[in-house]
Structures are given as structure tokens and as C-alpha cells.
Amino acid sequence: MSNRMFACPLCGNRFDPEKHVACGACPVQKDCSMVCCPACGYSTVDEGQSKAVKWISSIFRKDADREKT
Amino acid sequence: MHRHSEKGTELPNSGGSIALVGHPNVGKSVIFQHLTGRYVTVSNYPGTTVEVSRGSAQEIPETVIIDTPGVITLPPQSEDEQVTEQVLLHEPLRAIVQVGDAKNLRRTLLLTVQLAEMGVPFVLDLNMMDEADARGVSVDHALLAKHIDAAVIPTIAVRGEGIDALTIAIGASRVPDFRVRYPKMIEEELSEIVSRVPDASVAPRALALMWLCCDALAEEWIQEHADEATLQTLNNSRVKLEADLQEPPSSVIQRSRLEFVERIGSLVLRDSGEGDRSFGARLGRLCTHPVWGLGILAAVLYGLYWFVGILGAGILVDLLEGRIFGEMINPLILTWTNRLIPVTWLADFLVGEYGLWTMGITYALALILPIVTTFFLAFGIMEDSGYLPRLTVLSNRLFSTMGLNGKAVMPMVLGLGCVTMATMTTRIMSSKRDRLLVILLLALAVPCSAQLGVVMGMLAGVSLGATFIWGIVVLAVLLAVGWLAALLLPGKRSALLIELPPLRWPVWSNVLTKTLARLEWYLKEVLPLFLIGAAAMFVMDRIGLLAWMTRGAEPLVSGWLGLPPEASAAFLQGFLRRDFGATGLFVMESQGLLTPLQVVVAMVTITLFIPCVASVFVIAKERGWRTSLGILILIMPLAFLVGGLLNKALLMIGWGV
């Protein structure tokens, strides 16, 4: 179970993107990389799932750890 | 043990459980800590992996406080929300305390109306009052308490303010004499169902409403406690009601609740006049002003034009495509490919006119990437600054005066999603004809803001006038789509609650993170399609099909649209994906092969194509291949019709020749 809450940038509705609440009625369902707001239907990309973001974040984390030591 | 009670009944001062219910992140846990002290137990709710905290109430003897998981609304949409509902249905509750966010009163009240109807003593705790004050939000608590017939206690949980008053209110809580008035057909059916449902821990009316809303947990409970005959009657009631209403009862019920919330919200919310007078707050209010808001929107659009068009499609594309790819990378690759690959057709396949590298990769990285990067950056700024929801509110005001619902259209226009979400929204329509027509209309004009951004950016690289004309035509089509769809949709569309965050300077790490994630998504979508497109163009060129199609399309492309015959290749690319075709046209324009008028006509035509071949597959998956191909057959001629008419109109006024 994810503890991550995603706030829709359009309507402000908070939901867990990994629960795919809006996906049940969608023909693509969970196979796309979109996160769709169950309240308003706004579709965007979930940066938490982005490999590029994770990679860049890991570089910054390593640099920060190196600075601490 | 608590059973639902008659309205106005007070319960004994001790015993039973009190459920803390509310949205996520409203301070429920802090309230829980104030009410319970140090000794709490945290355990998984039976049969689930969801943790629930229980503790003894410090000031109310022999009473347990339950901190339930956050719930947005009922029926539950997640396991957490299911647990909250199970607590409401199964626990011996002596009271429900809803903890709400005072600065988002409407969203809070949407849950309040559901909880207050449950026939359980109820208290509304409006928390985060300090944040509400900072935003200039003031609530008339006494008036709100009167309307929902329950105590409304303001608190600032993190400072411990209001906790004593809350404790007293909980001790004196009673069942509210409160109900939302639903439409006549719903009320009649509710009366029928109420007389048949088994006795439960919540009021029969609440259970009946859950049944009509197809709440799975309520259905399960009723199936366990009612006999076959009763179940059959309840099922028949629901089916008949849906047929009479021509839409799901849950939609009507939700809409009634939203209308009630809007009405109460407008009565009890006050602008204190002593609220936030900072520049950001004042600018935020101006953004949704009917007059100033339009001026700000014009400025934002101009900024977008400059940033995406001049910088992205102009300066950055010149740098990448002209210098880096054009003068450095591509000549090198061309030389080495011709040296290493003696087979001419294979070398052409890679680096020829329709080569995988020279078309597929170069288009994607040298042309599209800079434009889409600037577009996503701009979009990320609009999101993170809080402007995007204000744009929706402003557009709703404009569209409503024209009989449209902006709140329905804007999420699709602004969202990155393809026609899938648009297709999804048609599921609530009962008529096959209406569903089909709405999908057709939405596939024609609306989705994928990223592609629209690319087209806009390319046009902006031509001129402001070209961008303006394209924008007007696309807006006109969008308005026509919205108007027709509104005409076809049965009944009123449910209102949408939009939370307006404070307007602020964007946090650059957020903007860059979102942009990076979107670029990854976009390139994953675009690269394979561009490579497939380039390969397809290569094959068609090699076998002479491209030349044949160009000659065949001449009456349409040259005669009707007024474009050079070579533009046919770009339109073929456009069938695969709009921005692929637009890139081909952009290249032609940069080579001086198209006049400004021709660029606008071609771009408008391509904008009205189906967004990409993937959306054809999506519609096919949802509605079948016949429908999907039928939509394709209708949309393409319409796109060419609009393009041709625009050509004639612009020629008549002598623009851009």
C-alpha cells in the first residue's frame, strides 16, 4: 500500500496514484504512465514513477551524502 | 452498543466508540492525540493491511476514540476508505467527529452531508483555522451549525486551541435533524427502500442512499442481512430508478449534495476583509476576475508564445537542428554510414531523406525536444504557481455564459491524456448514439495538450499572427465541440469542486522534476512512432507509393488547401501522429517551401486530425473497430474541410500570401 498522496494540479483533489482509482473505467487501464484524477479527469505524468527523475534524485542524494561525510 | 437513534436524541455520557473521520492531512491524528493522551493501540483493521489507532478518551469515561484512515468521499475508492466505512457500519459508535479543513469548506461539507445523514450523533471540527484566517477565509460557525443541526467547533489542533470546546461538544452530541432534499424520484424511491432495509448501525435512509449509490460494502451488508425477496425488490428499485432518471442514481445524488454544499458554502463563508492582502493573494483574486482575468490570461498566452515559440521553436531549434545536428552530428553520421554501409538502400534507410536517423531521430531530438521542453517548463510553472486552477475557474465563467461547462472541458484540454479519458467520460451516458457522438467530437478537437503545444510552438516560430489565427480556429472548434456535447449529454453535468491554492512563486525543483518526468513520457511515446513513421515513409517512397499518393492527393492538398504537393508527405505523417506531421510542415517552412498562409492552413488541418494512431486503437478497444474506423472516416474529411475553408477565407482577405 502506498503512502504517497498526489494532489491534482487542476482541482486539488488528493489521491493515491498507485491505487489507479480512475483507471477501472479506462480502456488502457494500468498500462499507461499517466495518472488521472478521479475527481476531474485531468491527466498528467506521475513524477514518482519516472526513471529519469529517480536517477537524477539518486545522483543528488549521493552528492549530499558525500558532503555530509 | 449503539444503534442509530431518532433525531435529536442525546446519548449517555459514556461508553461506546467515537470515530474521527475526515480527509487526509486535515489534522485528525493531532486531534486524536489531544483527545486520547499517551496510551493508544495501533493495529491492522481485521482482514486488512490498514492500520487503525484506538485510544481511551481522556475526558469521556469508558469511551474509545478511533482514528480512521483519511477518506475523500463515500462510496470508498480505496482500501483505506473501505476501512473507514467499515468502522462507520460495524463499530458501536456513540458519535462521529468529522475533522475538516476550514480553508476548504466546500470540500469538507461534501463529506459532512454524508456523515450527518447517518443517524449517529455528530460534531464537525473545523481545524486549521489559522490557515483559513491567513487566506482571508471566515466561516460563520453558528449559521453553519444551524444548517447542519450539529455543533461546529473551530480548532487549531497543532496549538491545542479549541480542544476543550470540542470535548464538551462531543459529550453533548446528538443525532442531527438534517437531510439533503433529493429530486422527487429519488425521495420516493428512498421512502420505499427505507421501509425494507434491515436495521443497521446507521440510519435506514443513509443505508438506502448507499444502496442507490452502489456502495459495495453496504450492498454486502444488506445481502448478508436481508432475505431473497427483499434483495430482489431492492435490485428492481434501483434498476427502475436508473431507467427513469436516464442516468445512474449516484450521479443525481452526488449532484444534489454538491448543490447543497454550494448553497450552504455561499451562506456561511465570509471574506473577512482583513485577510491576506499580500501581492500574491491580490493577484490570485485578479486571475479569476471576469475582466482582469482575461487580461492576465492574454499576458500568460503571450508569455507562452514567446517562451515556446520564439525561444523554443526559434532559438533552440536553430541551435539544435541548424548547428548541432545540421552542421556537426548529421554530416558525421552521414559520412560514416556511407563509408561503413556499402548497401545504398540500407544507408538511405538510415540517413536518407526518410532515414531513421535523419527523419526519425532528428525530428524527435532536434525539432520536437526543444519545443516540448519549453512547453513543459511553461506548463510546470503554471501548475506549481497555482495559476492552472484559476484558469479553469476563469474558463468556466466564460464558458458558462455560453451554455458550456468549462469544468468538464478544461481538464481534457489541459491534460496530457489522450482520448482515453475523453472516452471514459462517455461511459455514464445511457444512449449509444450520444456516446458515439461525444467520442467523435472529443477525438476531433481536444486531447493531448503536449501535441497542441508543439503545433503552437512551431507556428509561433512563424509569426504571432499565424499563432493567433490557429488559436482562434482551434478555440472555435473547441467551443462548437463543447456546445454540441453539452446539447447531447443527458441531464446536467455534476459540478466540480476546485481547490484554489495560494498563488506563489513556483518552486523550481518541482517544475524541473515535472518537466523531466514529462519529457521522459513524451520521448517514450514519440520516438518509436517517429521511427516507425520514417520507416513507413521510406518504404512507400521506395516502392513508388509515396509519389503516387502525392499525385492522387494533389486536387485536395494543392487545389483545396492551396499547399505544394510535397505537403502530402507531411499529412501522411500526420495520420500517424499530429506532431509528426506538424514537424514535417515545420521543416518545409524552414526551407522556404511554404508561405505563412500555407503554414497556418496546414497546421490547422493537422491539428484537427485524430491525435495519434494509438488513440484509434484505444477507441477500438473501447467501442470496437467499426466505430473507430467510422470516427476516422468522419474526422479526416472534416479536418480538410475546415482547412480548405480557412485557405479560401485568408486568400480573400489577402493574409499571409
| ipTM of the complex in this document | 0.86
B50 with A40: Cβ contact below 8 A: no
Residues of B in contact with A51 (CB under 8 A): 520
Cell 499517551 belongs to residue: B38
B216 reaches A (C-beta below 8 A): no
Q: Which of residues 75-94 of B touch A (CB under 8 A)?
A: 77-80
Amino acid at B258: L
B411 with A41: Cβ contact below 8 A: yes
Question: Region B524-531: what's the mean pLDDT?
Answer: 87
Asked if pLDDT for residue B590 goes beyond 70, the answer is yes
pLDDT tens string B196-208? 888 888 899 999 9
Q: Which of residues 565-624 of B touch A (CB under 8 A)?
A: 618, 621-622
Q: Which range has the worst mean pLDDT, B156-160, B269-273, B422-426?
A: B422-426
H or E stretch at B96: strand B93-101
pLDDT tens string B132-180? 887 778 899 999 999 999 999 999 998 889 999 999 999 899 999 988 9
B99, B125 contact by CB (below 8 A): yes
A56 with B497: Cβ contact below 8 A: no
B498 reaches A (C-beta below 8 A): yes
Provide the CB-side half-sphere exposure for B364 (13 A, CA).
21
A35 reaches B (C-beta below 8 A): no
B499 with A50: Cβ contact below 8 A: no
H or E stretch at B339: helix B330-340
Exposure string of B44-58, with b = 16+ CB inside 10 Å and e = fewer, is ebeeeebebbbbbbe
**Closest among B572, B576, B569 to B530, alpha carbons compared:** B576
A38 reaches B (C-beta below 8 A): yes
A24 reaches B (C-beta below 8 A): no
Question: Region B642-656: what's the mean pLDDT?
Answer: 91
Q: Given this model, what pLDDT does residue B644 score?
A: 94
Asked if pLDDT for residue B30 goes beyond 50, the answer is yes
Helices (H), ranges, B352-503: 362, 369-385, 387-401, 406-414, 419-425, 432-445, 449-460, 464-488
Helix (H, G, I), strand (E, B) or coil at B492: coil
| Distance (Å, whole) CA B278 – CA A12 | 22
Residues of A in contact with B23 (CB under 8 A): 14
| Distance (Å, whole) CA B216 – CA B223 | 10
Q: Select from B250, B258, B420 the residue whose CB has the most chain A CBs within 10 Å, as the one to mutate to test that interface.
A: B420
A16 with B496: Cβ contact below 8 A: no
Asked if pLDDT for residue B291 goes beyond 90, the answer is no
Q: Select from A5, A21, A23, A44 the residue whose CB has the most chain B CBs within 10 Å, as the one to mutate to test that interface.
A: A44
- The β-bridge partners of B66 are B19, B54
| Distance (Å, whole) CA B44 – CA B42 | 7
B321, B359 contact by CB (below 8 A): no
